[in-house]
Amino acid sequence: MEGVRKGEDAKIYIDGKEYLLPTVIGTEDELGIDIRRLRSESGAITLDPGYANTGSCISSITYINGEEGILRYRGYPIEQLAEKAEFLEVCYLLIYGKLPDQREYNYFVDKVTRHSLLHEDMKNFFAGFPNTAHPMCVLAAMVASLAAYYPDEKNDLELMDLNIVRLLAKVPTIAAFAYKKSIGQPFVYPRNDLSYTQNFLHMMFAVPAEEYKVPPLFNKALNILLILHADHEQNCSTSTVRMVGSSMANLFASIAAGICALWGPLHGGANQRVIEMLQMIYEDKGDVAKYVAMAKDKRNNFRLMGFGHRVYKNYDPRARILKSLADELLPELGYDDPLLEIAKHLEEVALKDEYFLERKLYPNVDFYSGIIYRAIGIPTNMFTVMFALGRLPGWIAHWRELRLDPSMRIHRPRQIYSGPSKRDYIPFTERG
Ligand code: CMC
Protein backbone atom coordinates (compact mmCIF):
# COMPACT_ATOMS: atom_id res chain seq x y z
CA MET A 1 0.00 0.00 0.00
CA GLU A 2 1.21 3.52 -0.93
CA GLY A 3 3.04 5.37 1.85
CA VAL A 4 3.61 2.26 3.93
CA ARG A 5 6.80 0.19 3.96
CA LYS A 6 7.72 -3.17 5.39
CA GLY A 7 9.75 -3.37 8.60
CA GLU A 8 11.64 -6.20 10.23
CA ASP A 9 9.47 -9.18 11.24
CA ALA A 10 8.44 -9.34 14.90
CA LYS A 11 8.78 -12.59 16.82
CA ILE A 12 6.20 -13.87 19.25
CA TYR A 13 6.34 -17.07 21.35
CA ILE A 14 3.17 -18.92 22.27
CA ASP A 15 3.47 -22.18 24.21
CA GLY A 16 7.15 -22.27 23.31
CA LYS A 17 6.53 -22.02 19.58
CA GLU A 18 7.89 -19.07 17.60
CA TYR A 19 5.76 -17.13 15.12
CA LEU A 20 7.01 -14.45 12.78
CA LEU A 21 4.76 -11.46 12.27
CA PRO A 22 5.32 -8.90 9.53
CA THR A 23 5.55 -5.24 10.52
CA VAL A 24 4.45 -2.14 8.65
CA ILE A 25 5.90 1.36 8.97
CA GLY A 26 3.82 4.42 8.11
CA THR A 27 4.89 7.68 6.46
CA GLU A 28 5.76 9.20 9.84
CA ASP A 29 7.59 6.06 11.02
CA GLU A 30 4.72 4.70 13.11
CA LEU A 31 5.29 1.00 13.63
CA GLY A 32 2.57 -1.64 13.49
CA ILE A 33 2.67 -5.42 13.92
CA ASP A 34 0.50 -7.07 11.30
CA ILE A 35 -1.34 -9.83 13.16
CA ARG A 36 -3.68 -10.83 10.34
CA ARG A 37 -2.27 -14.38 10.17
CA LEU A 38 -1.81 -14.80 13.92
CA ARG A 39 -5.02 -16.67 14.68
CA SER A 40 -4.92 -18.97 11.67
CA GLU A 41 -1.31 -19.93 12.49
CA SER A 42 -1.37 -20.02 16.29
CA GLY A 43 -5.02 -20.07 17.42
CA ALA A 44 -4.43 -16.93 19.51
CA ILE A 45 -6.06 -13.55 19.12
CA THR A 46 -4.91 -10.18 20.48
CA LEU A 47 -6.88 -8.62 23.35
CA ASP A 48 -7.18 -4.83 23.51
CA PRO A 49 -10.40 -3.58 25.17
CA GLY A 50 -11.04 0.03 24.16
CA TYR A 51 -8.72 -0.51 21.15
CA ALA A 52 -6.02 1.75 22.65
CA ASN A 53 -3.27 -0.23 20.85
CA THR A 54 -5.17 -1.51 17.86
CA GLY A 55 -4.74 -0.12 14.36
CA SER A 56 -8.00 -0.88 12.56
CA CYS A 57 -6.85 0.32 9.15
CA ILE A 58 -4.15 1.98 7.08
CA SER A 59 -5.34 5.48 6.27
CA SER A 60 -3.86 8.43 4.38
CA ILE A 61 -6.27 11.08 5.68
CA THR A 62 -5.07 12.46 9.02
CA TYR A 63 -1.89 12.26 11.04
CA ILE A 64 -1.79 12.83 14.79
CA ASN A 65 1.26 12.72 17.02
CA GLY A 66 -0.27 12.84 20.46
CA GLU A 67 3.04 13.04 22.30
CA GLU A 68 4.11 16.16 20.40
CA GLY A 69 0.65 17.68 19.93
CA ILE A 70 0.70 17.49 16.11
CA LEU A 71 -2.38 17.30 13.87
CA ARG A 72 -2.26 17.33 10.07
CA TYR A 73 -4.94 16.78 7.44
CA ARG A 74 -3.44 15.11 4.34
CA GLY A 75 -0.05 16.46 5.49
CA TYR A 76 -1.16 20.09 6.04
CA PRO A 77 -0.69 21.37 9.62
CA ILE A 78 -3.95 22.23 11.35
CA GLU A 79 -2.55 25.65 12.30
CA GLN A 80 -2.10 26.62 8.63
CA LEU A 81 -5.50 25.34 7.58
CA ALA A 82 -7.27 27.10 10.46
CA GLU A 83 -5.56 30.36 9.56
CA LYS A 84 -5.79 30.29 5.79
CA ALA A 85 -8.39 27.86 4.45
CA GLU A 86 -12.14 27.83 3.90
CA PHE A 87 -14.11 24.97 5.43
CA LEU A 88 -15.32 23.65 2.06
CA GLU A 89 -11.72 23.66 0.80
CA VAL A 90 -10.81 21.48 3.79
CA CYS A 91 -13.79 19.22 3.05
CA TYR A 92 -12.47 18.70 -0.48
CA LEU A 93 -8.95 18.13 0.83
CA LEU A 94 -10.04 15.50 3.33
CA ILE A 95 -12.39 13.66 0.99
CA TYR A 96 -10.38 13.78 -2.25
CA GLY A 97 -6.84 13.96 -0.86
CA LYS A 98 -5.65 17.23 -2.43
CA LEU A 99 -6.33 20.96 -2.16
CA PRO A 100 -8.69 21.80 -5.03
CA ASP A 101 -7.53 24.13 -7.79
CA GLN A 102 -9.76 27.16 -8.40
CA ARG A 103 -11.91 25.38 -11.02
CA GLU A 104 -12.38 22.26 -8.89
CA TYR A 105 -13.20 24.40 -5.88
CA ASN A 106 -15.78 26.55 -7.70
CA TYR A 107 -17.46 23.44 -9.07
CA PHE A 108 -17.53 21.77 -5.64
CA VAL A 109 -18.86 24.89 -3.87
CA ASP A 110 -21.52 25.33 -6.54
CA LYS A 111 -22.69 21.71 -6.16
CA VAL A 112 -22.80 21.88 -2.36
CA THR A 113 -24.64 25.22 -2.51
CA ARG A 114 -27.27 23.90 -4.90
CA HIS A 115 -28.12 20.76 -2.93
CA SER A 116 -28.94 22.42 0.38
CA LEU A 117 -32.72 22.22 0.18
CA LEU A 118 -34.48 19.38 1.98
CA HIS A 119 -37.25 17.44 0.32
CA GLU A 120 -40.40 19.25 1.44
CA ASP A 121 -41.86 16.02 2.85
CA MET A 122 -38.99 15.88 5.33
CA LYS A 123 -40.40 18.94 7.07
CA ASN A 124 -43.17 16.68 8.38
CA PHE A 125 -40.59 14.68 10.32
CA PHE A 126 -39.55 17.75 12.31
CA ALA A 127 -43.18 18.32 13.27
CA GLY A 128 -43.27 14.87 14.89
CA PHE A 129 -40.54 15.63 17.43
CA PRO A 130 -41.36 17.29 20.75
CA ASN A 131 -39.86 20.79 21.16
CA THR A 132 -37.74 19.40 23.97
CA ALA A 133 -36.02 16.79 21.74
CA HIS A 134 -32.24 17.04 21.89
CA PRO A 135 -31.08 18.32 18.47
CA MET A 136 -28.58 15.42 18.24
CA CYS A 137 -31.46 12.97 18.25
CA VAL A 138 -33.22 14.95 15.52
CA LEU A 139 -30.00 15.19 13.50
CA ALA A 140 -29.29 11.44 13.68
CA ALA A 141 -32.86 10.55 12.69
CA MET A 142 -32.98 13.04 9.83
CA VAL A 143 -29.61 12.01 8.40
CA ALA A 144 -30.64 8.33 8.42
CA SER A 145 -33.92 9.39 6.77
CA LEU A 146 -32.06 10.90 3.81
CA ALA A 147 -31.57 7.29 2.67
CA ALA A 148 -35.31 7.14 2.02
CA TYR A 149 -34.98 9.89 -0.61
CA TYR A 150 -31.72 9.14 -2.37
CA PRO A 151 -30.53 5.84 -3.87
CA ASP A 152 -27.88 3.66 -2.25
CA GLU A 153 -24.49 4.34 -3.91
CA LYS A 154 -23.50 0.65 -3.95
CA ASN A 155 -20.29 0.82 -5.99
CA ASP A 156 -21.31 3.64 -8.31
CA LEU A 157 -18.60 6.32 -7.96
CA GLU A 158 -20.69 9.09 -9.48
CA LEU A 159 -23.60 8.39 -7.17
CA MET A 160 -21.20 8.20 -4.25
CA ASP A 161 -19.93 11.71 -5.04
CA LEU A 162 -23.46 13.00 -5.47
CA ASN A 163 -24.57 11.60 -2.11
CA ILE A 164 -21.44 13.11 -0.52
CA VAL A 165 -22.43 16.52 -1.90
CA ARG A 166 -26.03 16.02 -0.76
CA LEU A 167 -24.93 15.19 2.75
CA LEU A 168 -22.53 18.13 3.08
CA ALA A 169 -25.21 20.42 1.70
CA LYS A 170 -28.19 19.21 3.70
CA VAL A 171 -26.74 18.67 7.18
CA PRO A 172 -26.50 22.45 7.91
CA THR A 173 -30.14 22.81 6.83
CA ILE A 174 -31.19 19.90 9.05
CA ALA A 175 -29.20 21.29 11.99
CA ALA A 176 -30.67 24.79 11.64
CA PHE A 177 -34.22 23.44 11.17
CA ALA A 178 -33.80 21.31 14.33
CA TYR A 179 -32.87 24.47 16.23
CA LYS A 180 -35.73 26.50 14.77
CA LYS A 181 -38.14 23.72 15.67
CA SER A 182 -36.84 23.65 19.27
CA ILE A 183 -37.51 27.37 19.74
CA GLY A 184 -40.80 27.42 17.82
CA GLN A 185 -39.62 29.71 15.01
CA PRO A 186 -40.33 29.19 11.29
CA PHE A 187 -37.69 27.41 9.22
CA VAL A 188 -35.43 29.72 7.26
CA TYR A 189 -34.56 28.25 3.86
CA PRO A 190 -31.00 28.12 2.52
CA ARG A 191 -29.73 30.98 0.38
CA ASN A 192 -27.44 30.31 -2.56
CA ASP A 193 -25.83 33.75 -2.49
CA LEU A 194 -24.22 33.03 0.89
CA SER A 195 -21.13 30.97 1.70
CA TYR A 196 -21.48 27.62 3.51
CA THR A 197 -20.87 29.10 6.95
CA GLN A 198 -22.83 32.32 6.28
CA ASN A 199 -25.76 30.29 5.03
CA PHE A 200 -25.78 28.17 8.17
CA LEU A 201 -25.70 31.21 10.46
CA HIS A 202 -28.45 32.82 8.39
CA MET A 203 -30.68 29.74 8.66
CA MET A 204 -30.03 29.69 12.42
CA PHE A 205 -30.58 33.32 13.29
CA ALA A 206 -32.67 35.02 10.60
CA VAL A 207 -36.43 35.48 11.08
CA PRO A 208 -38.94 36.43 8.39
CA ALA A 209 -39.84 39.65 10.22
CA GLU A 210 -36.56 41.49 9.63
CA GLU A 211 -33.34 41.43 7.67
CA TYR A 212 -30.42 39.56 9.20
CA LYS A 213 -26.84 40.19 8.14
CA VAL A 214 -24.30 37.59 9.20
CA PRO A 215 -21.65 39.34 11.34
CA PRO A 216 -18.26 38.74 9.63
CA LEU A 217 -16.66 37.83 12.99
CA PHE A 218 -19.26 35.09 13.59
CA ASN A 219 -18.53 33.76 10.15
CA LYS A 220 -14.78 33.80 10.66
CA ALA A 221 -15.08 32.02 14.02
CA LEU A 222 -17.41 29.36 12.65
CA ASN A 223 -15.09 28.67 9.71
CA ILE A 224 -12.18 28.06 12.10
CA LEU A 225 -14.28 25.94 14.48
CA LEU A 226 -15.50 23.69 11.67
CA ILE A 227 -11.99 23.25 10.26
CA LEU A 228 -10.61 22.30 13.68
CA HIS A 229 -13.27 19.61 14.08
CA ALA A 230 -13.09 18.31 10.51
CA ASP A 231 -11.18 15.09 11.18
CA HIS A 232 -9.36 13.28 13.93
CA GLU A 233 -8.50 9.87 12.47
CA GLN A 234 -9.88 6.76 14.21
CA ASN A 235 -11.89 8.36 17.05
CA CYS A 236 -15.04 6.70 18.38
CA SER A 237 -17.50 8.19 15.86
CA THR A 238 -15.21 7.80 12.83
CA SER A 239 -14.48 4.18 13.75
CA THR A 240 -18.25 3.72 14.04
CA VAL A 241 -18.77 5.15 10.56
CA ARG A 242 -16.12 2.77 9.20
CA MET A 243 -17.59 -0.16 11.13
CA VAL A 244 -21.09 0.44 9.78
CA GLY A 245 -19.80 1.28 6.29
CA SER A 246 -17.91 -2.03 6.22
CA SER A 247 -21.22 -3.89 6.12
CA MET A 248 -21.87 -2.01 2.84
CA ALA A 249 -24.47 0.16 4.57
CA ASN A 250 -25.15 3.34 2.59
CA LEU A 251 -23.48 6.68 3.32
CA PHE A 252 -26.45 8.22 5.14
CA ALA A 253 -26.91 5.22 7.46
CA SER A 254 -23.18 5.08 8.21
CA ILE A 255 -22.96 8.79 9.04
CA ALA A 256 -26.12 8.64 11.18
CA ALA A 257 -24.38 5.95 13.25
CA GLY A 258 -21.36 8.26 13.61
CA ILE A 259 -23.62 11.05 14.84
CA CYS A 260 -25.01 8.74 17.54
CA ALA A 261 -21.49 7.79 18.63
CA LEU A 262 -20.46 11.43 18.79
CA TRP A 263 -23.36 12.29 21.09
CA GLY A 264 -21.84 10.68 24.20
CA PRO A 265 -20.29 12.96 26.86
CA LEU A 266 -16.89 11.26 26.60
CA HIS A 267 -16.75 12.21 22.91
CA GLY A 268 -18.51 15.13 21.17
CA GLY A 269 -21.06 15.57 23.95
CA ALA A 270 -18.23 16.89 26.13
CA ASN A 271 -18.49 20.42 24.70
CA GLN A 272 -21.99 20.85 26.14
CA ARG A 273 -20.83 19.36 29.45
CA VAL A 274 -17.87 21.77 29.63
CA ILE A 275 -20.11 24.84 29.59
CA GLU A 276 -22.48 23.23 32.11
CA MET A 277 -19.47 22.55 34.36
CA LEU A 278 -18.06 26.08 33.98
CA GLN A 279 -21.50 27.51 34.74
CA MET A 280 -21.74 25.32 37.83
CA ILE A 281 -18.31 26.55 39.03
CA TYR A 282 -19.31 30.15 38.31
CA GLU A 283 -22.48 29.79 40.34
CA ASP A 284 -20.39 28.19 43.09
CA LYS A 285 -18.46 31.48 43.50
CA GLY A 286 -15.76 30.42 41.04
CA ASP A 287 -14.30 27.88 43.44
CA VAL A 288 -12.04 26.20 40.89
CA ALA A 289 -9.90 24.36 43.45
CA LYS A 290 -12.95 22.52 44.77
CA TYR A 291 -13.72 21.09 41.32
CA VAL A 292 -10.11 20.15 40.65
CA ALA A 293 -10.15 18.28 43.97
CA MET A 294 -13.41 16.56 43.01
CA ALA A 295 -11.93 15.46 39.66
CA LYS A 296 -8.97 13.89 41.49
CA ASP A 297 -11.10 12.10 44.05
CA LYS A 298 -11.45 8.48 42.95
CA ARG A 299 -14.60 8.05 45.06
CA ASN A 300 -16.26 10.77 43.04
CA ASN A 301 -17.10 10.09 39.39
CA PHE A 302 -16.81 13.80 38.48
CA ARG A 303 -14.23 14.49 35.75
CA LEU A 304 -12.98 17.79 34.40
CA MET A 305 -14.89 17.91 31.15
CA GLY A 306 -12.79 19.09 28.20
CA PHE A 307 -9.67 17.64 29.83
CA GLY A 308 -7.72 14.56 28.84
CA HIS A 309 -7.52 12.67 25.58
CA ARG A 310 -6.85 9.11 24.49
CA VAL A 311 -4.25 10.23 21.96
CA TYR A 312 -2.94 13.64 23.08
CA LYS A 313 -0.49 13.42 25.94
CA ASN A 314 0.35 17.06 25.35
CA TYR A 315 -1.67 20.23 24.76
CA ASP A 316 -4.28 19.52 22.08
CA PRO A 317 -3.25 21.82 19.18
CA ARG A 318 -6.93 22.55 18.49
CA ALA A 319 -7.44 23.75 22.08
CA ARG A 320 -4.44 26.06 21.71
CA ILE A 321 -5.94 27.66 18.59
CA LEU A 322 -9.37 27.98 20.22
CA LYS A 323 -7.96 29.54 23.39
CA SER A 324 -6.31 32.32 21.41
CA LEU A 325 -9.40 32.66 19.20
CA ALA A 326 -11.52 33.16 22.33
CA ASP A 327 -9.02 35.76 23.59
CA GLU A 328 -9.15 37.60 20.28
CA LEU A 329 -12.86 37.24 19.49
CA LEU A 330 -14.62 38.03 22.75
CA PRO A 331 -13.19 41.55 23.19
CA GLU A 332 -13.82 42.29 19.49
CA LEU A 333 -17.44 41.29 19.98
CA GLY A 334 -17.63 43.25 23.21
CA TYR A 335 -18.74 40.01 24.88
CA ASP A 336 -17.34 39.70 28.37
CA ASP A 337 -17.95 36.08 29.32
CA PRO A 338 -17.08 35.25 32.95
CA LEU A 339 -16.86 31.58 31.90
CA LEU A 340 -13.70 32.32 29.88
CA GLU A 341 -11.94 33.52 33.02
CA ILE A 342 -13.17 30.48 34.95
CA ALA A 343 -11.91 28.19 32.16
CA LYS A 344 -8.46 29.80 32.13
CA HIS A 345 -8.22 29.67 35.89
CA LEU A 346 -9.27 26.03 35.89
CA GLU A 347 -6.65 25.21 33.28
CA GLU A 348 -3.96 27.04 35.25
CA VAL A 349 -4.76 25.22 38.50
CA ALA A 350 -5.06 21.80 36.83
CA LEU A 351 -1.83 22.18 34.87
CA LYS A 352 0.11 22.85 38.06
CA ASP A 353 -1.39 19.83 39.79
CA GLU A 354 0.61 16.60 40.10
CA TYR A 355 -2.49 14.47 39.31
CA PHE A 356 -2.99 16.10 35.88
CA LEU A 357 0.74 16.34 35.12
CA GLU A 358 1.39 12.68 35.93
CA ARG A 359 -1.49 11.52 33.74
CA LYS A 360 -0.68 14.05 31.00
CA LEU A 361 -4.19 15.51 31.07
CA TYR A 362 -4.44 18.77 29.09
CA PRO A 363 -7.36 20.80 27.73
CA ASN A 364 -8.83 19.18 24.61
CA VAL A 365 -10.77 20.70 21.70
CA ASP A 366 -13.98 20.83 23.71
CA PHE A 367 -12.55 22.97 26.52
CA TYR A 368 -12.70 26.36 24.78
CA SER A 369 -15.03 25.66 21.82
CA GLY A 370 -18.24 26.19 23.82
CA ILE A 371 -17.15 29.62 24.96
CA ILE A 372 -16.80 30.68 21.32
CA TYR A 373 -20.09 29.05 20.33
CA ARG A 374 -21.79 30.99 23.12
CA ALA A 375 -20.22 34.22 21.92
CA ILE A 376 -21.69 33.72 18.45
CA GLY A 377 -25.12 32.92 19.86
CA ILE A 378 -25.21 29.13 19.49
CA PRO A 379 -27.22 27.62 22.37
CA THR A 380 -25.59 25.00 24.58
CA ASN A 381 -27.72 22.07 23.42
CA MET A 382 -26.56 22.72 19.83
CA PHE A 383 -22.85 22.43 20.62
CA THR A 384 -22.59 18.74 19.79
CA VAL A 385 -24.53 19.32 16.57
CA MET A 386 -21.86 21.92 15.69
CA PHE A 387 -19.20 19.29 16.32
CA ALA A 388 -21.07 16.93 13.98
CA LEU A 389 -21.29 19.61 11.30
CA GLY A 390 -17.52 20.07 11.51
CA ARG A 391 -16.73 16.33 11.63
CA LEU A 392 -18.88 15.53 8.60
CA PRO A 393 -16.07 15.72 5.99
CA GLY A 394 -13.86 13.50 8.16
CA TRP A 395 -16.56 10.85 8.46
CA ILE A 396 -17.23 11.04 4.73
CA ALA A 397 -13.53 10.85 3.85
CA HIS A 398 -13.08 7.72 6.00
CA TRP A 399 -16.24 6.08 4.65
CA ARG A 400 -15.07 6.76 1.09
CA GLU A 401 -11.51 5.57 1.76
CA LEU A 402 -12.87 2.36 3.23
CA ARG A 403 -15.31 1.72 0.40
CA LEU A 404 -12.70 2.32 -2.29
CA ASP A 405 -10.22 -0.04 -0.64
CA PRO A 406 -10.28 -3.28 -2.66
CA SER A 407 -9.06 -5.23 0.37
CA MET A 408 -11.96 -4.06 2.59
CA ARG A 409 -13.59 -6.78 4.68
CA ILE A 410 -16.54 -6.46 7.03
CA HIS A 411 -15.31 -5.24 10.44
CA ARG A 412 -15.75 -8.03 12.89
CA PRO A 413 -13.57 -8.12 16.02
CA ARG A 414 -13.20 -11.25 18.12
CA GLN A 415 -13.48 -11.71 21.89
CA ILE A 416 -12.26 -13.83 24.77
CA TYR A 417 -15.31 -15.57 26.18
CA SER A 418 -15.59 -15.51 29.99
CA GLY A 419 -19.09 -16.96 30.51
CA PRO A 420 -20.13 -20.42 31.76
CA SER A 421 -19.04 -23.54 29.91
CA LYS A 422 -21.66 -25.80 28.36
CA ARG A 423 -24.51 -26.63 30.74
CA ASP A 424 -27.93 -28.24 30.28
CA TYR A 425 -31.27 -26.44 30.28
CA ILE A 426 -33.22 -26.77 33.58
CA PRO A 427 -37.05 -26.61 33.66
CA PHE A 428 -38.63 -23.87 35.91
CA THR A 429 -39.71 -26.44 38.51
CA GLU A 430 -36.13 -27.52 39.09
CA ARG A 431 -34.52 -24.05 39.30
CA GLY A 432 -33.42 -23.05 42.80
N1 CMC B 1 -10.65 14.48 34.80
C2 CMC B 1 -10.07 13.76 35.77
N3 CMC B 1 -9.36 12.65 35.60
C4 CMC B 1 -9.24 12.20 34.33
C5 CMC B 1 -9.81 12.89 33.24
C6 CMC B 1 -10.53 14.07 33.51
N7 CMC B 1 -11.09 14.75 32.52
N8 CMC B 1 -9.53 12.22 32.11
C9 CMC B 1 -8.80 11.15 32.48
N10 CMC B 1 -8.62 11.13 33.81
C11 CMC B 1 -7.84 10.16 34.58
C12 CMC B 1 -8.58 8.86 34.72
O13 CMC B 1 -9.38 8.83 35.90
C14 CMC B 1 -7.44 7.88 34.76
O15 CMC B 1 -6.88 7.96 36.04
P16 CMC B 1 -6.21 6.62 36.74
O17 CMC B 1 -5.02 6.29 35.89
O18 CMC B 1 -5.87 7.06 38.12
O19 CMC B 1 -7.28 5.57 36.70
C20 CMC B 1 -6.42 8.46 33.79
O21 CMC B 1 -6.68 9.87 33.81
C22 CMC B 1 -6.53 7.95 32.36
O23 CMC B 1 -7.88 8.15 31.93
P24 CMC B 1 -8.68 7.15 31.03
O25 CMC B 1 -10.16 7.34 31.28
O26 CMC B 1 -8.12 5.78 31.17
O27 CMC B 1 -8.29 7.69 29.59
P28 CMC B 1 -9.01 7.37 28.24
O29 CMC B 1 -8.00 7.51 27.19
O30 CMC B 1 -9.75 6.08 28.32
O31 CMC B 1 -10.14 8.50 28.12
C32 CMC B 1 -11.17 10.60 27.75
C33 CMC B 1 -9.99 9.68 27.40
C34 CMC B 1 -11.17 11.78 26.78
C35 CMC B 1 -12.50 9.83 27.54
C36 CMC B 1 -11.02 11.08 29.22
O37 CMC B 1 -9.86 11.85 29.36
C38 CMC B 1 -12.24 11.89 29.69
O39 CMC B 1 -13.23 11.31 30.15
N40 CMC B 1 -12.21 13.25 29.54
C41 CMC B 1 -13.36 14.07 29.86
C42 CMC B 1 -14.35 14.03 28.68
C43 CMC B 1 -13.86 14.82 27.49
O44 CMC B 1 -13.39 15.95 27.62
N45 CMC B 1 -14.03 14.24 26.29
C46 CMC B 1 -13.68 14.91 25.02
C47 CMC B 1 -12.50 14.27 24.36
S48 CMC B 1 -11.80 15.32 23.07
C49 CMC B 1 -12.98 15.43 21.84
C50 CMC B 1 -13.28 14.14 21.21
O51 CMC B 1 -12.43 13.56 20.56
O52 CMC B 1 -14.41 13.69 21.36
Q: How far is the CA of 1 from the centre of ligand 1 (A)?
A: 34
* Domain final position from 70, 93, 108: 70
306 lines ligand 1 (CB under 6 A): yes
Q: How far is the CA of 9 from the centre of ligand 1 (A)?
A: 34
Domain assignment present for residue 212? The answer is yes
400 shares a domain with 321: yes
Domain assignment present for residue 425? The answer is no
Q: How far is the CA of 350 from the centre of ligand 1 (A)?
A: 14
Q: Residue 161 sits in which domain range? A: 75-409
If the chain, 432 residues long, is cut into consecutive pieces of 10 residues, what is the mean pLDDT of each piece?
91 97 97 97 97 96 96 98 98 98 98 98 94 94 98 92 98 97 95 98 97 96 98 98 98 98 95 95 95 96 95 95 95 93 96 96 95 95 96 98 96 98 97 88
Model pLDDT, residue 389: 98
Model pLDDT, residue 2: 76
283 shares a domain with 141: yes
176 shares a domain with 148: yes
What are 71-74's contacts with CB under 8 Å, separation 24+?
A: 71/232, 71/317, 71/318, 73/230, 73/231, 74/98
345 shares a domain with 218: yes
**94 contacts 226 by C-beta, under 8 angstroms:** no
Model pLDDT, residue 344: 95
Ligand 1 nearest atom to the CA of residue 306, by list position: 44
Domain assignment present for residue 106? The answer is yes
Model pLDDT, residue 155: 83
Q: How far is the CA of 308 from the centre of ligand 1 (A)?
A: 5
Q: How far is the CA of 286 from the centre of ligand 1 (A)?
A: 23
295 lines ligand 1 (CB under 6 A): yes
Ligand 1 nearest atom to the CA of residue 262, by list position: 52
Dihedral sign of CA atoms 167, 223, 320, 373 in order: negative
Model pLDDT, residue 1: 72
308 lines ligand 1 (CB under 6 A): yes
Q: 159 Cβ partners below 8 Å, 6+ apart?
A: 151, 153
pTM over 0.85: yes
Choice from 228, 359, 360 to test ligand 1 binding pocket (greatest atom count within 8 A of CB): 359
Catalytic status, residue 309: yes
Domain assignment present for residue 381? The answer is yes
Closest-CA residue, ligand 1 atom 47, reads 267
Catalytic residue among 231, 232, 267, 366: 366
Q: How far is the CA of 17 from the centre of ligand 1 (A)?
A: 38
237 lines ligand 1 (CB under 6 A): no
Catalytic residue among 115, 202, 309, 398: 309
Domain assignment present for residue 222? The answer is yes
> How distant is the alpha carbon of residue 158 from its chain centre?
26
> Which amino acid appears at position 168 of this protein?
L
Domain assignment present for residue 286? The answer is yes
Ligand 1 nearest atom to the CA of residue 267, by list position: 52
How many structural domains compose the chain? Answer: 2
261 lines ligand 1 (CB under 6 A): no
Model pLDDT, residue 268: 94
* Domain final position from 70, 86, 110: 70
361 lines ligand 1 (CB under 6 A): yes
DSSP states of 94-148: HHHSS---HHHHHHHHHHHHHT-PPPGGGHHHHHHS-TTS-HHHHHHHHHHHGGG
Choice from 310, 346, 349 to test ligand 1 binding pocket (greatest atom count within 8 A of CB): 310
Q: What angle do CA 57, 96, 404 make, to 5 degrees?
A: 45
Domain assignment present for residue 414? The answer is no
Closest-CA residue, ligand 1 atom 45, reads 266
- For residues 145, 147, 148, 149, the Cα torsion angle rounded to the nearest 10 degrees is 110
Q: What is the largest CA-CA distance in the chain?
A: 79
133 shares a domain with 58: no
